Structure 1
Amino acid sequence: MQFANPRRAALGVALIAATALVAPPAQGAFAAPPGSARAAATPVSVSVNARAGLATVPATALGVNDAIWDTTLGTDAVADLLGDAGVKMIRYPGGSYADIYHWETHTAPGGYVAPNTDFDTFMASARRTGAEPMIIANYGTGSAGEAAAWVRYANVTKGYQARYWTIGNENYGNGHYGSAWEADDHTDLSPTQYANEVVAYADAMKAVDPTIKVGAVLTMPANWPDGLVGTGDSATWNRTVLSIAGPHIDFADVHWYPGGGNAAEALGKTQYLDDSIYALRQQINSYGGADAGRLGISLTELNVGVGQNTQPGAIFLADAYAGLIANGVFTVQWWNVHNGIGTPSTVAGQTDYNDFGLLSSGNCTADNSVCEPPLNTPFAPYHALKLLSSFIHPGDQMIRAGTSDPLVTAHAARRPNGDLAVLLINKDPAAARDVALDYSGYTPSSAAPVVLTYGNGDTAIHSGSASTLPPYSLTLLTLKSSSGASPKAPTRLAASAVTDRTATISWSGGPDAAKYEIYRANGAVSEQLGETSGTSFTVHNLQPGRRYTVNVLARDGAGNQSWSSAPLTFTTGAPATSTCTVKFADTNDWGNGYVGQIDITNTGAAPLNGWTLAYTWPTTWQSVSSGWSATWTQTGTGVRVTSDATLAANGGTASVGFVGSYSGPNLFPVAFTLNGTLCSIA
């Protein structure tokens, strides 16, 4: 994050001006406000599936950013507010300031450093909050030696046990790809230079304290400059950094500011998260070295594009944090604790100060026409974060949940004591929703759930209704289980011998398991693929080029079912041999579109007098804008490429090209048919 001044954030790209959605604020805890509508007479179906386990919630999950230009950084008032919101990780010294900050002298040449914001003050405040630090070492104007000295001071001299350190902030924003906001004194601004320096930093820092975890800066898939290859480079930023630095680091660090032209569009951006984290994990596994599976993912800057201080900010925070944590991100950190007033507007009937902070800075516009509430007044996202701390606790397992209404989102978590928490988000600014919940693999007790709600215009979390979601609201249900003891859940799932049609799943079981059940997650519904008394199972009749997520559950001799295993995701491919081969390549990418090339080879013994190549995009936001050297058509996500030309036998080839566009993660197809025959991949 870069700053135009110490209190105002500039995102490095212009923010799209907000178009406010105006609707009356919620007036009651249990029903829609007077005069507001209900979307439908039929309740929204909510499915909670305990058989489809997701990631386990880490202790560091709920995080925020703090900064040396914030005069309140070390105050007890702020530390206590963050502690009350359940914050467990705080990032320091503050976005792009990290690349000009020198910890020993507590200076940031070219920037403002507030009094009483030095490292020791920050650590005292973090300890009062009950949060771990994540510290950004100065890459832009610092050195590996300076970073190693910081580790020595923190963990050897002071005994702070600061475990998490990242090398720089948004270092791809140093001008190498055109846009420049991140300080970088290196002559070479390439990802290769950054990666080599990360190795030097990590080695020097771990020589002081080998227990620390070091992260490298990557870019979020489908966010600039993902997909771009800079002048003189042979690969993208992520591929280059991972290929060189992967074996030396412990996690990849990304930021996400998805923007949005209006509140509805901004809130819809969370639909990309599953595929974004999947794509990032694929990049890590492909380029991060032989043991890349050990690398974690942190998302250390996050904010919404519209309504930062009002209900869109609260809804986006809750939805994005829950989705990211469910996908295994070990910490999510809001930008920022304080940030300062921007250009005020009205969003859903509430004054939005265009302030990226969780808490009010208490300042006014330049002409004093609009002033924020008093210093440290919580904005709506703060209350959402506080509700999240009631929703998920370290050690909980996130489980799949879904709804029948695109404007209602559900997240769920199962607790070690058997409780189940369900977070329901109504993204409709005008209409309430009645809901009906259904559970798979979980039986709630007859006791009434505890219900907490945070609605549009509310100043605090309050009791709510288990059956009605107010407009623009967050509702948390906590239920008790009627189930007793259960066997140990399977662990260490792995896929092997994955082909176009089959995959073998293996796992580690427990001594109390009589058999195991294998489930495939299909949205919020699980399809049982089979069962076995062993610890491996081969799944047949899979579809080529499709992503599958499976879970394994154990049953003991009495029929008691375990918790779900963590999920295992794999993608089927193409046959090893066929009468055709296809090579798909992205030859020139600019961030939301690219030039693609497909090379087709007929390896069969007979010529093809006219041919049709067919494939399916993995997501709904990918398309062909134009194509050449054949006739291109797209229906839904399916693409057909046809030609009257002849492909000669035993090696006849054709090359076709297209311009592709995408608005989310650009996942490439991996299964192609030629005249109905499934091809191998070159």
Structure 2
Amino acid sequence: MVRDGYKDKTVAEAVIEPGKENNLGAIALIPETAPKGKASSIVIDASKSIRKLPIDKHKMYGNNLAAWHPVAAYRDNNVVAKIKKLGVSFLRIPGGDYGNQYDWKTGEVYNYDGGVSWTPELNYYGGMVPFIKRMEKEMAGFEVMPILNVMTPDSKSIDERVDYQIQWLQDMKNKGIKFRYVEVGNEPDNKPQCLGPAAALKKGSSVTTLMKSPTSKKVTQWWTSIDNVSNVFNYTTYKVKKAFPDDKLKLMGPCPMQPMNQERLAGEPWLAPKDAPYWVEKFLKKSAKYVDTLAIHEYPLWANNNAIALLKKPQQTWPVYMPKFRSWIKKYVNSVPGQENKYIEVALTEWNSGEENSMTALIENALFCADYLGSFMKEGGDMAFFWDLFTQKPGQGGGHGMFDAENDPTNRSAERGHYWPVMLYAQKFGTNMVKCESDNPDLSVYAATGDDGKLTIMAINKTKLFAADASIAISGTGVGGGKAYQFSKKEYVWSKDLYKAIVNDGPSEININGGKNFKYTFPPFSVTLLELNK
């Protein structure tokens, strides 16, 4: 506070030694000047839907449980209430790379090159199942999306691993745990160290021979081949659907680290040559008869070291990816006889900004998440699972998690900044996205109507320099007054020094007059949801 807010007082004068007092006298505070305004225009036509299908809130606001999370957090009534408020009724388990390394029965986590790494406390029987069963009682339609571990341990063949994962699915079914979507593996495009089958040492081995072959320490850079991953996916899909013929399960893949990653056997796919095949395209070609849902991940600015670059990413990603994906699906999947009308859902099974440095804890990450999720939905995305609920990295200054279970004694499982805009989407945003445009490149806007007749507008002002003085014109529906839910630096301030938010009040609620033509000022660096009554 002395460093940032006091006038005519040095830090040395403000230092107070233990057991002593230091009278600073009168302190003049630096007044905050009102931000300059930038004239902006928002035009909405509520009669024009922009998605082929309405938003499925259950599928769009999913999240990830990871086996390394603190088990106590999943038993905490306060945390459960916050998760419910976030609208998480779809949970991916056991999370991230543990999808390739986790033993559901023993709780052990395997190394990729053999052996056991450790056994986390949050195991399937004692941690996941009790939490899932509780959430089933408290949230209608709650379900999980399991990741099948087909990569480890090295003591089993791929065929044996698939059978072991089928046992897991059967165990969940016996326990009454709901699952409809099943993901095969996690981020194989960067797993060159993961061991492959010994039969791969002999050219011309059949797929069945490869699947039933023992694992060999001589076979690496096997899982980074799209051909191999597609063969495993097809084999797994066949066996899973044969084991559960009446369950109409949907198998998901190939789950690369980034949507447009290309093949590189040595891993680090961002270094792949420009002419290397795209993971998504080649997978769709090889697995056209087997894939039900296209699964990908994205962390669009992994370095996470430039807020300006990060906040441009929502307009540079899904407006580019989705047309390519839909064209590839049509070319490969819908060209198969009998699959002409098969709809392939596009699922982000992990998403966040990038590296877990301080950017992930600042309000910038909240702005990014609000804009990125809006863009994904606008472009026709079907499913999204935020990464994740609890992972924090104090040593790096940030963390991807929605909550911090350990570092804020004044707020148990404190919400991170990105919690609040996702919560606003889940609680308030409509399901029928409609045409909505802004003439201000720093002001991203998305709009939707709901079954209740309300029109909701999500606006993200991505600049610190100006407030957006917006004139809002609405056609295609009748609207009146309503509420504004506003999230800015008045509601959230992160302290890098304390590694916690020193202001964390959640969105402010403001009454607004609304109407078909009205004005609203969106503060600098803010996320605002306008909810207008019919």
Task: Give the TM-score normalised by structure 2.
Answer: 0.73
Q: C-alpha displacement at 1:52, in angstroms? A: 2.9
Q: C-alpha displacement at 1:230, in angstroms? A: 7.7
Partner of 1:71: 70
The number of residue pairs the alignment matches comes to: 422
C-alpha separation in 2, matches of 1:470 and 1:397: 27
Superimposed CA distance per residue, residues 644-664 of structure 1 (whole angstroms, 9 cap, x where no aligned partner): xxxxxxxxxxxxxxxxxxxxx
Superimposed CA distance per residue, residues 183-228 of structure 1 (whole angstroms, 9 cap, x where no aligned partner): 4544433211111111111111112223211101244444455999
Partner of 1:434: 469
Partner of 1:480: 533
C-alpha separation in 2, matches of 1:471 and 1:153: 51
Secondary structure of the residue aligned to 2:150 is coil
Alignment of 1:192 onto 2:227:
yes
Alignment of 1:463 onto 2:497:
no
Secondary structure of the residue aligned to 2:231 is helix
C-alpha separation in 2, matches of 1:256 and 1:223: 10
Alignment of 1:38 onto 2:36:
yes
Alignment of 1:97 onto 2:98:
yes
Does the CA contact (< 8 Å) of 2:259 and 2:296 recur in 1?
Answer: no
Q: C-alpha displacement at 1:229, in angstroms? A: 11
Partner of 1:330: 382
Alpha carbons of structure 1 residues 193 and 310: separation in structure 2 relative to 1, 3 Å: same
Identity of aligned residues (%): 22
Q: C-alpha displacement at 1:397, in angstroms? A: 0.7
Superimposed CA distance per residue, residues 599-639 of structure 1 (whole angstroms, 9 cap, x where no aligned partner): xxxxxxxxxxxxxxxxxxxxxxxxxxxxxxxxxxxxxxxxx
Partner of 2:320: 275
C-alpha separation in 1, matches of 2:411 and 2:368: 24
Does the CA contact (< 8 Å) of 1:191 and 1:241 recur in 2?
Answer: yes
C-alpha separation in 2, matches of 1:419 and 1:465: 15
C-alpha separation in 1, matches of 2:411 and 2:293: 38
For residue 326 of structure 2, what is the amino acid of its counterpart?
A: R
Alpha carbons of structure 1 residues 184 and 326: separation in structure 2 relative to 1, 3 Å: farther
Quick one: which of 110, 133, 152 aligns to 2:144? 133
Q: C-alpha displacement at 1:465, in angstroms? A: 6.6
Alpha carbons of structure 1 residues 374 and 330: separation in structure 2 relative to 1, 3 Å: same
For residue 386 of structure 1, what is the amino acid of its counterpart?
A: M
Quick one: which of 304, 307, 332 aligns to 2:353? 304
C-alpha separation in 2, matches of 1:90 and 1:312: 25
Does the CA contact (< 8 Å) of 1:74 and 1:124 recur in 2?
Answer: no
Higher relative contact order (CA 8 A, sep 6+): 2
Partner of 2:14: none
Partner of 1:362: 406
Alpha carbons of structure 1 residues 112 and 314: separation in structure 2 relative to 1, 3 Å: farther
Alpha carbons of structure 1 residues 248 and 440: separation in structure 2 relative to 1, 3 Å: same
Q: C-alpha displacement at 1:244, in angstroms? A: 2.2
Secondary structure of the residue aligned to 2:239 is helix
Q: C-alpha displacement at 1:147, in angstroms? A: 2.1
C-alpha separation in 1, matches of 2:276 and 2:444: 41
C-alpha separation in 2, matches of 1:378 and 1:204: 41
Deviates more, 1:221-230 or 1:248-257: 221-230
C-alpha separation in 2, matches of 1:193 and 1:411: 40
Superimposed CA distance per residue, residues 521-557 of structure 1 (whole angstroms, 9 cap, x where no aligned partner): xxxxxxxxxxxxxxxxxxxxxxxxxxxxxxxxxxxxx
Larger Rg: 1
**Structure 1: segments with no counterpart, 5+ residues:** 1-22, 25-32, 345-352, 364-370, 482-682
Partner of 1:173: 190
Superimposed CA distance per residue, residues 381-427 of structure 1 (whole angstroms, 9 cap, x where no aligned partner): 1112111113335xx21112111111111000111232111111111
Secondary structure of the residue aligned to 2:48 is strand
Superimposed CA distance per residue, residues 459-511 of structure 1 (whole angstroms, 9 cap, x where no aligned partner): 21221375111221111111123xxxxxxxxxxxxxxxxxxxxxxxxxxxxxx
Does the CA contact (< 8 Å) of 1:82 and 1:129 recur in 2?
Answer: no
Partner of 1:622: none
Give the structure with the higher percent strand. 1
Alpha carbons of structure 1 residues 108 and 262: separation in structure 2 relative to 1, 3 Å: same
C-alpha separation in 1, matches of 2:428 and 2:411: 29
C-alpha separation in 2, matches of 1:338 and 1:303: 13
Alpha carbons of structure 1 residues 221 and 137: separation in structure 2 relative to 1, 3 Å: closer
For residue 108 of structure 1, what is the amino acid of its counterpart?
A: V
Quick one: which of 443, 456, 480 aligns to 1:408? 443
C-alpha separation in 2, matches of 1:330 and 1:374: 34
Q: C-alpha displacement at 1:123, in angstroms? A: 2.3
Partner of 1:153: 171
Q: C-alpha displacement at 1:449, in angstroms? A: 1.8
C-alpha separation in 2, matches of 1:310 and 1:234: 36
For residue 148 of structure 1, what is the amino acid of its counterpart?
A: I
Q: C-alpha displacement at 1:275, in angstroms? A: 1.8
User: 5 Å matches for 1:202-213?
Assistant: 202-210=237-245, 211-213=248-250
C-alpha separation in 2, matches of 1:268 and 1:200: 40
Does the CA contact (< 8 Å) of 2:151 and 2:185 recur in 1?
Answer: yes
Alpha carbons of structure 1 residues 164 and 170: separation in structure 2 relative to 1, 3 Å: same
Alignment of 1:61 onto 2:60:
yes
Alpha carbons of structure 1 residues 475 and 171: separation in structure 2 relative to 1, 3 Å: same
Alpha carbons of structure 1 residues 329 and 126: separation in structure 2 relative to 1, 3 Å: farther
Secondary structure of the residue aligned to 2:42 is strand
Secondary structure of the residue aligned to 2:323 is helix
Quick one: which of 448, 469, 481 aligns to 2:481? 448
Secondary structure of the residue aligned to 1:388 is helix
Secondary structure of the residue aligned to 2:91 is strand
Alpha carbons of structure 1 residues 441 and 374: separation in structure 2 relative to 1, 3 Å: closer
For residue 138 of structure 1, what is the amino acid of its counterpart?
A: N
Q: C-alpha displacement at 1:120, in angstroms? A: 1.8
Superimposed CA distance per residue, residues 36-84 of structure 1 (whole angstroms, 9 cap, x where no aligned partner): 42243xx310111223312311131101111111123632433321111
Q: C-alpha displacement at 1:98, in angstroms? A: 1.0
Secondary structure of the residue aligned to 1:74 is helix
User: 5 Å matches for 1:595-674?
Assistant: none
Does the CA contact (< 8 Å) of 2:305 and 2:359 recur in 1?
Answer: no
C-alpha separation in 2, matches of 1:423 and 1:230: 37
Partner of 2:499: none
**Structure 2: segments with no counterpart, 5+ residues:** 6-30, 112-116, 153-157, 198-218, 493-503, 513-519
Alpha carbons of structure 1 residues 433 and 240: separation in structure 2 relative to 1, 3 Å: closer
C-alpha separation in 2, matches of 1:228 and 1:261: 18
Quick one: which of 275, 297, 301 aligns to 1:255? 297
Superimposed CA distance per residue, residues 280-322 of structure 1 (whole angstroms, 9 cap, x where no aligned partner): 2222222235327411111011111372122111111111112
C-alpha separation in 1, matches of 2:46 and 2:327: 26
C-alpha separation in 2, matches of 1:278 and 1:373: 46
For residue 406 of structure 1, what is the amino acid of its counterpart?
A: P
For residue 376 of structure 1, what is the amino acid of its counterpart?
A: S
Deviates more, 1:214-223 or 1:273-282: 214-223
Q: C-alpha displacement at 1:235, in angstroms? A: 4.2
Secondary structure of the residue aligned to 1:68 is coil
Does the CA contact (< 8 Å) of 1:420 and 1:480 recur in 2?
Answer: yes
Secondary structure of the residue aligned to 1:416 is coil
Does the CA contact (< 8 Å) of 1:136 and 1:169 recur in 2?
Answer: yes
Task: Give the TM-score normalised by structure 1.
Answer: 0.58
